[in-house]
């Protein structure tokens, strides 16, 4: 029986073959390393360090008209990259600049392709600038120092022929490490400083696409920028080219996808901005962040189709602006071809919540600049009105102002030469309509004026929102025109002039039965379940030197009427007004009891008292008429007799009766007034 024996010799041969292959690969790799090392060593003599620096300077100046200079030694290096290491380097600024070199660095590290060197070409794999200082400027006339122009061409007879066999140049990667950028706009008066700048620019072809990644600090805030440009050289030369860019800092981000150019500045494309950290983003522009109240601007988002024209005008279309819970859609144009910038904008929205504005106003009301008494006396700054002219329109389904709620609203703001006019085209207010305009004029001083009309407004919800009470039900209309001037709110309020009127339709005063109270001299007619029904309330008033005067207030009701007259010092914040309820004896309106009430004192705590002088005067007039009737009757019925009033000699009947009349009036008043 044949026996089985493993083929030990075959396995051994297989292992030997494997080991042989591994050994051959090891020797090949070692050979590659040796060859590369030899190439590196062999390439050192091929690296024309001084010539490369000179060639770079010549070609750069030829292409841009700017001098590029190298100070110190320019030497070849093997580590960390095969290439050239320079000393300090400077790039000349525009001839109109006085800021020094546009670019200055401690030195450059230039990495080269050794295989290209062997072939006679200069292929730059990477350029790293060590601690550069970059100064970017825009002149007042709009010129930019980074917009390079070609150097003057030599005369035809003096033309220098290019060196035979001139080497081709390309760059793979440009880097900046620990750099600094200063940007100054002399026209706008702004300045921006970037520190701790690290930048990476991938540029396989100077005329082709480029990608950039940048990180820096602005006022201690971290900033990151990434982008891609389709034609790098074209962008530097000012041409418009496709561009994608994203800027991020803190909680904010701005992204652009479109086309852009630099000379002049121009752009067109989609812009998206999430401005959760507005102060950080405003710092990029060298501007302070606007003071926006909580609830309006804590989070801002913008999506729009943007066009920045070569003339400097800015145009937004298909715009969606989100301010916290509020969203607006519309378009805007900002132009600079007039004496002042001009803004034209139209936006619309649904239900807008601006209730945070009421809280901001309440918080700011504490500092009146007048010790807390009276109107603020601090000067009013209206300089912002002169910054630009504007026409802005806003349509909204509703607006919550906190203190009041508006329905459908159409507003138009026009600012021209520091005079702003807010037109209330349509403001639906508690089932009624508010129209008119308010003017703030900053031409040669400060003045405020207006002409407002309110029609058929529901009084109960209006007063509940504005005054916190619901005792007046019905509808009302009103008008007012006013004008005031002065450097402060106090001065304006003390100078107010104008006039207006009130015209309320049928309604009721809830919680007060004036007719029952006066007819029965009983104060218990106040409280739940009581009411005073009226047919109308009318009044007209004039305003002069900050004092509102009225003498024809009339509340007309079936059982009671009220008359009013007096004045309200708008500037001094004081009131002196008398209202006189008249309770009728019967439903036919015959007779009645008059009760003048005087309201006087400061707005904050007015006093209410009986106008006894007016009451006594009315009763005395009535008493005198009655006394004359009695005396006349006595004279006619008594012949040769005295009046029968026990009058003393020389005393008339009126003289004898007056003490009793005064006593009667006094007793009646004491009973009526509870004295």
- pLDDT for 405-414, tens place per residue? 999 999 999 9
Q: Write out pLDDT tens, residues 486-510.
A: 999 999 999 999 999 999 999 999 9
The CA dihedral of 500, 503, 509, 515, to the nearest 10 degrees, is 100
Average pLDDT value for the chain: 79
18-32, 226-240, 439-453: lowest mean pLDDT where? Answer: 18-32
- Comparing 369 with 307, the larger pLDDT belongs to 307
Residue 537: exposed, middle, or buried by beta-carbon count in 10 A (0-12, 13-18, 19+)? buried
Residue 423 neighbours by CB under 8 Å, 6+ apart: 411, 412, 413, 414, 436, 437
- Comparing 374 with 13, the larger pLDDT belongs to 374
For residue 665, is pLDDT > 90?
no
For residue 458, the model assigns a pLDDT of: 96
CA angle 335, 336, 340 (to 5 degrees): 115
- Comparing 600 with 64, the larger pLDDT belongs to 600
Q: Which residue in the block uniquely carries the two structure tokens 């024309």? A: 48
The CA dihedral of 108, 111, 116, 117, to the nearest 10 degrees, is 60
Classify 100 as helix, strand or coil: coil
Residue 592 neighbours by CB under 8 Å, 6+ apart: 582, 583, 584, 585
Distance from C-alpha of 332 to C-alpha of 343, rounded to nearest angstrom: 7
For residue 225, is pLDDT > 80?
yes
For residue 436, is pLDDT > 90?
yes
Average pLDDT over residues 566-574: 96
DSSP category for residue 209? -
Classify 382 as helix, strand or coil: coil
Supply φ then ψ for residue 390, to 5 degrees. Answer: -155, 150
349-353, 442-446, 626-630: lowest mean pLDDT where? Answer: 626-630
Q: How confident is the model at residue 643 (pLDDT cuts 50, 70, 90)?
A: very low
For residue 302, the model assigns a pLDDT of: 95
Question: Which segments within 535-632 are labelled E, that is strand?
Answer: 536-544, 547-556, 560-569, 574-583, 593-594, 597-602, 607-610
| Percent of the chain residues topping a pLDDT of 90 | 41
For residue 3, the model assigns a pLDDT of: 45
Distance from C-alpha of 91 to C-alpha of 434, rounded to nearest angstrom: 65
DSSP 273-289: EEESSHHHHHHHTT-PP
List the structure tokens of 649.
Answer: 């000699």
Q: How confident is the model at residue 122 (pLDDT cuts 50, 70, 90)?
A: low
Q: Write out pLDDT tens, residues 128-177.
A: 888 999 999 989 888 888 877 654 555 544 444 444 444 444 567 888 88
Q: Write out pLDDT tens, residues 451-478.
A: 999 999 999 999 998 888 888 999 999 9
Distance from C-alpha of 544 to C-alpha of 541, rounded to nearest angstrom: 10
For residue 156, the model assigns a pLDDT of: 47
Average pLDDT over residues 335-358: 92
For residue 425, is pLDDT > 80?
yes
For residue 521, the model assigns a pLDDT of: 67
Q: How confident is the model at residue 586 (pLDDT cuts 50, 70, 90)?
A: low
For residue 334, is pLDDT > 50?
yes
Domain boundaries, the chain: 39-144+168-204, 506-610, 615-673
Q: Write out pLDDT tens, residues 2-30.
A: 444 444 444 445 545 545 444 444 444 44
For residue 628, the model assigns a pLDDT of: 46
Query: What is the distance in angstroms between the CA of the first residue and the CA of the last residue of the chain?
Result: 149
């Amino acid at each position: 029986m044949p026996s089985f024996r493993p083929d030990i010799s075959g396995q051994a041969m297989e292992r030997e073959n494997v080991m042989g292959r591994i050994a051959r690969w090891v020797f090949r790799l070692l050979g590659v390393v040796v060859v590369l090392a030899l190439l590196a060593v062999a390439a050192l003599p091929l690296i024309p360090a001084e010539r490369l620096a000179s060639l770079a300077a010549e070609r750069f100046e030829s292409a841009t008209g700017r001098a590029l200079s190298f100070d110190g030694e320019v030497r070849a290096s093997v580590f960390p990259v095969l290439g050239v290491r320079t000393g300090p380097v400077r790039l000349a600024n525009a001839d109109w600049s006085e800021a020094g070199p546009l670019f200055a660095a401690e030195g450059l590290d230039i990495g080269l392709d050794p295989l290209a060197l062997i072939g006679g070409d200069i292929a730059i794999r990477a350029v790293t600038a060590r601690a550069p200082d970059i100064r970017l400027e825009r002149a007042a006339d709009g010129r930019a120092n980074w917009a390079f122009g070609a150097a003057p061409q030599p005369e035809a007879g003096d033309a220098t022929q290019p060196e035979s066999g001139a080497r081709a140049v390309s760059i793979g990667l440009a880097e900046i490490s620990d750099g600094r950028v200063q940007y100054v706009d002399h026209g706008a008066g702004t300045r921006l400083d970037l520190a701790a700048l690290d930048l990476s620019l991938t540029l396989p072809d100077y005329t082709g696409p480029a990608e950039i990644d940048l990180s820096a600090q602005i006022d201690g805030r971290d900033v990151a920028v990434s982008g891609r440009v389709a034609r790098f050289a074209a962008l530097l030369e000012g041409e418009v080219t496709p561009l994608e860019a994203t800027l991020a800092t803190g909680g904010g981000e701005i992204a652009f996808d479109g086309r852009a150019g630099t000379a002049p500045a121009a752009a067109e494309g989609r812009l998206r901005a999430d401005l959760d950290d507005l102060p950080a983003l405003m710092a990029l522009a060298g501007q302070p962040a606007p003071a926006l109240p909580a609830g309006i601007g804590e989070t801002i988002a913008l999506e729009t189709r943007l066009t920045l024209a070569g003339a400097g005008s800015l145009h937004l279309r298909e715009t969606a602006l989100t301010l916290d819970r509020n969203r607006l859609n519309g378009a805007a144009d900002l132009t600079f071809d007039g004496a002042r910038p001009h803004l034209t904008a139209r936006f619309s929205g649904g239900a807008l919540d601006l209730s945070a504005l009421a809280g901001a106003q309440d918080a700011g009301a504490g500092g009146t600049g007048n010790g807390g008494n009276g109107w603020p006396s601090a000067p009013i700054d209206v300089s912002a009105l002169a910054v630009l002219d504007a026409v802005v329109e806003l349509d909204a389904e509703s607006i919550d102002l906190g203190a009041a709620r508006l329905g459908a609203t159409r507003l138009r703001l026009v600012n021209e030469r520091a005079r702003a006019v807010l037109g209330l085209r349509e403001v639906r207010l508690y089932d009624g309509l508010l129209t008119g305009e308010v003017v703030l004029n900053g031409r040669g001083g400060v003045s405020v004026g207006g002409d407002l009309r309110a029609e058929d407004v529901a009084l109960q919800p209006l007063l509940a929102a504005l005054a916190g009470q619901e005792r007046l039900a019905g509808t009302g209309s009103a008008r007012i025109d006013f004008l005031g001037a002065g450097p402060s709110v106090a001065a304006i309020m003390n100078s107010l002039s104008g006039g207006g009127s009130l015209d309320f339709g049928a309604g009721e005063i809830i919680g007060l039965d004036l007719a029952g109270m006066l007819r029965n001299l009983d104060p218990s007619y106040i409280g739940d379940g009581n009411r005073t029904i009226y047919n109308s309330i009318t009044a007209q008033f004039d305003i002069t030197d900050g004092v509102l005067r009225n003498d024809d207030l009339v509340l007309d009701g079936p059982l009671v009427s009220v008359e009013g007259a007096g004045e309200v010092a708008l500037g001094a914040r004081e009131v002196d007004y008398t209202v006189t309820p008249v309770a009728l004896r019967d439903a036919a309106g015959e007779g009645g009891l008059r009760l003048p009430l005087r309201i006087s004192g400061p707005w904050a705590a007015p006093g209410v008292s009986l106008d006894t002088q007016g009451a006594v005067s009315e009763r005395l007039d009535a008493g005198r008429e009655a006394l004359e009737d009695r005396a006349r009757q006595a004279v006619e019925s008594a012949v040769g007799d005295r009046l029968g009033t026990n009058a003393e000699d020389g005393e008339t009947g009126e003289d004898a009766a007056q003490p009793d009349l005064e006593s009667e009036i006094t007793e009646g008043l004491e009973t009526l007034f509870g004295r």
